[in-house]
Amino acid sequence: MNGLFAEPIQEIPLTEIADILDWVTEGKSKEVSLKLFDDVSMVYELQLAKMEFSRFSDDLRTFRQRTAYFEEVAGEKSWHFYLSAVEGKGQIGHSNQYLTHWFYPYKGKFHGQMVKALLNFMAVNEGSTVLDPFVGSGTTLVECATLNVPSIGIDINPALCLVAHIKHRALSIDFPEFRRTIHRLPLPKVFRQFTRQLENPKPLQLPPVPFESEEMVRAIWEQLFPDVAPDLHTEWRNILLLIFLHALSDFTYLEGTGKAKPLESFWQDNFASYLQTLEGIHRVREMLSMPIASARVLCGDALAMPLPDSSVDGIVTSPPYSIALDYVKNDEHLLTYLGLPTDALRRQMIGLKGHGKQRLLMYDHDMRQSLSEMSRVLKPLGWAAIVLGDVVVGDQRTDFCQRLLQWAPEFDFDQAITLRRPILGGYARLRFEYILLLRKGDSPK
């Protein structure tokens, strides 16, 4: 044979050079058939895979139901294989945007797969309670629900509490009944009724924080949309509202770009895609006989949480990364549409308080207070997993991961693990985020 490959290439035994599966499972993969997802390749993912496996290596039946990073356990497909196959828009492999994670395009979401592995490392179960004090669009609540772990989410932004509430409740609707009813609804009329609030926004009156998301949901339907599909279950009406909010966000962000479309087209497209996802969730739940754990969503301040001392078993959260990102501006269309004042919210949000140099000092103060609150509500020996970006102000890294580590002993944390995750694309200013795991000691001061 002529040419470049005249000689047959010697097969290189790559597995002998670095048997990753062997490292992750500490040799167990030689005894039992295990397989990581093909797209698990980053160092932090392999570290998390090892950490979750270490907790369940003696109970592979449970591990198959819970794992985030393994595609197969003891020769059978894992539950995550099926759950992440319920695809959503913008999904990357098995890591994000599956199930209801993709409902509403919130800009600051973290990845469901990573959250699930952290919950596995904490070995929380149906008798535990997990807290996310900066719940945002509810990623932690959705992951807890599919692991059958009850959870509590807190956020200062009522609009995000609404999104988190709906994404969690949508996991357990009676889908066949929902679809039958929805197909009988005059959907163009529903769309027109929702657009009236755009043209003529009514302010939404909410009680002072803290309050439960159910109270807000009641207020929204009574004050803003009393005539929209009034005979439907509230959770079904909520899904219609979320589809509209999603369309509004797409419309706002894509206006003036090549992907711009009329609001009604976004509504129709999202409608079809939401139904597809909800049907997928229904199917996978039936197939796996998978329970969905309850979640409480509280609109409140992470700096003064309405929770008793030592009341939660684990925390998985991601606070505002910096003073550079304006979370209120990002969601202005949503807040304005729901008749919520943005100025008052700005004064309560971590990272947005104060001006100039003062703002960084206030961020520092608030991050310290939020760590103190997390420690207060965490049970002894409970873990807090805090995902935080590498904050850059001006040209300087402020390294709040290091700050949290320094403060941790003062707040009774006695063990720490840090993992580093590269940020590919997205915010060019942030190169890494850190997953900081802190364990509360068993004899708090």
Ligand X SMILES: C[S@@+](CC[C@H](N)C(=O)[O-])C[C@H]1O[C@@H](n2cnc3c(N)ncnc32)[C@H](O)[C@@H]1O
Q: Is 110 in the site for ligand X (CB under 6 A)?
A: yes
Nearer to ligand X among residue 20 and residue 392 (C-beta):
392
Per-state percent for the chain, helix, strand, coil, to nearest 5: 45, 15, 40
CB of 312 to ligand X, least distance (A): 15
Determine the Cα–Cα distance for residues 355 and 231; give it in Å rounded to an integer. Answer: 48
Q: How far is the CB of 359 from ligand X (least distance, A)?
A: 13
Work out whether 314 is an interface residue with ligand X (CB under 6 A).
no
Q: Give the angle subtended at the CA of 388 by the CAs of 387 and 394, to the nearest 5°.
A: 170
Considering the complex, state which of residue 287 and residue 304 has its C-beta at the smaller distance from ligand X.
304
CB 183, min distance to ligand X, A: 31
Q: Which is nearer to ligand X, 45 or 155 (CB)?
A: 155
- Stretch 45-64 residues interacting with ligand X (CB under 6 A): none
Nearest-approach distance from CB 387 to ligand X, in angstroms: 7
Per rule CB under 6 A, is residue 98 in the interface with ligand X?
Answer: no
User: Nearest residue by C-beta to ligand X?
Assistant: 136
CA nearest neighbour of 312 among 85, 139, 140: 140
CB of residue 7 to ligand X, shortest distance in Å: 53
Greatest C-alpha distance within the chain = 81
Provide the token pair at 96. 């994000």
Q: Using the rule CB under 6 A, which residue among 108, 201, 306, 441 binds ligand X?
A: 108
Residue span binding ligand X (CB under 6 A) among the ranges 2-10, 85-93, 130-138, 426-434: 130-138
Give yes or no for residue 301 binding ligand X (CB under 6 A): yes
Q: How crowded is residue 322: how many other Cβ atoms within 10 Å of its Cβ?
A: 22
Q: Which is nearer to ligand X, 129 or 370 (CB)?
A: 370
Write b or e for each residue in 48-77: b if 16 or more Cβ atoms lie within 10 A of its Cβ, otherwise e: bbbbbbebbeeebeebbbbbbbbbbbeeee
144 binds ligand X (CB under 6 A): no
What is the C-alpha separation between 144 and 130, in angstroms, rounded?
A: 8
Question: Shortest CA distance to 172 belongs to which of 100, 245, 232, 113?
Answer: 100
Stretch of 144-152, 256-264, 300-308, 355-363 contacting ligand X, by CB under 6 A: 300-308
> Do 363 and 351 touch, CB atoms closer than 8 A?
yes
**Contact status: 143 vs ligand X (CB under 6 A):** no
Contacting ligand X within 152-181 (CB under 6 A):
154-157, 160
Shortest CB 21 distance to ligand X, Å: 29
Q: Is the peptide bond before 188 cis (omega within 30 degrees of 0)?
A: no
Q: Which of 95, 129, 137, 197 binds ligand X (CB under 6 A)?
A: 137
Taking CB under 6 A as the rule, does residue 302 contact ligand X?
yes
C-beta of 210 vs 441, nearer to ligand X: 210
Q: Label residue 196 exposed, middle or buried (CB < 10 Å: 0-12, 13-18, 19+).
A: middle
Q: Which stretch binds ligand X (CB under 6 A): 104-112, 167-175, 227-235, 247-255?
A: 104-112
Going across the sheet that includes 413-422, the strands are 211-212, 295-299, 151-155, 130-132, 312-317, 378-389, 432-440, 413-422
Q: What one-character DSSP code corresponds to residue 185?
A: S
Q: How far is the CB of 424 from ligand X (least distance, A)?
A: 18
Query: Rounded to the nearest 5 degrees, what angle is found at the Cα of 187, between the Cα atoms of 184 and 190?
Result: 120
Q: What does DSSP say about strands 211-212 and 432-440: parallel, antiparallel, or unpaired?
A: unpaired
Paired with 436 in beta bridges are 386, 418
Does the footprint of ligand X cover residue 433 (CB under 6 A)? Answer: no
Closest to 158 (Cα-Cα) out of 326, 349, 377: 349
**188 vs 239, 241, 310, CA distance in Å?**
16, 13, 50
Quick one: which of 46, 85, 187, 303 contacts ligand X (CB under 6 A)? 303
Q: Which is nearer to ligand X, 175 or 327 (by Cβ)?
A: 327
Residues that contact ligand X, how many (by CB under 6 A): 23
Decide if residue 327 touches ligand X (CB under 6 A): yes
Write down the least CB distance from residue 132 to ligand X, Å.
7
- Minimal distance in Å, beta carbon 366 to ligand X? 7
Binding site for ligand X (CB under 6 A): 106, 108-110, 134, 136-137, 139, 154-157, 160, 301-303, 318-320, 327, 348-350
